[in-house]
Amino acid sequence: MKSNQTIAAIMIATTAMLSGCASTSSQPVNNGSYDNPASSSAGYGTIESIQVTRNDGQTNGAGAVVGGIVGALVGNQVGSGSGRTAATVAGAVGGAVVGNKVEANRNAGNGQEMYQINVRLQNGATRTVVQDSVYDLRVGNRVRVVDGRVYRY
């Protein structure tokens, strides 16, 4: 019985650590294609193109974590000694794979529309920003790029 409590405590701690790593943020993504990211978080330029993209079937790891926990708990019920340890590990790995696949299937078709905006900066460099909306942005607009988002000015 003591080993069941130990494994449960390890799984809870692992879940807490991994859930801290998982991100469900819909914050804009910036590909970092600007001169010096450390010194320049803003720039002025002109929109060259706007493309609509979808992020279908992406996972944030929650399915893998939950699947791994369930698989480990089920695997721990099999055998004894080193056989039980092997079953627990196999259950955790198998559960993680299945949980991740279930999450990906669940997210397929629910993809959020995102907009990839290519901006030609005044210094000649090109910056690509992906954000969740374009509001009133159009190709040819003069814009300001601040912290990974594009704004008209």
Which range in 69-83, 93-107, 128-142 is most confidently predicted, on average pLDDT? 128-142
Between 25 and 106, the higher pLDDT residue:
106
Report pLDDT for 37: 43
Domain ranges of the chain: 1-27+57-110, 31-55+112-153
Superfamily of domain 31-55+112-153: RuvBL1 DNA/RNA binding domain (2.40.50.360)
21 alpha-carbon distance from chain centroid:
9
DSSP letters, 125-149, are -EEEEEES--TT--TT-EEEEETTE
> 0.75 cut: is pTM over it?
no
Burial class (CB in 10 A: 0-12, 13-18, 19+), 2: exposed
Report pLDDT for 142: 95
pLDDT tens figures, 126-138 = 999 988 888 889 9
Report pLDDT for 15: 62
Report pLDDT for 58: 65
Report pLDDT for 16: 58
Average pLDDT of the chain to the nearest whole number? 77
Of 19, 8, 2, nearest in space to 70 by CA = 8
Report pLDDT for 20: 53
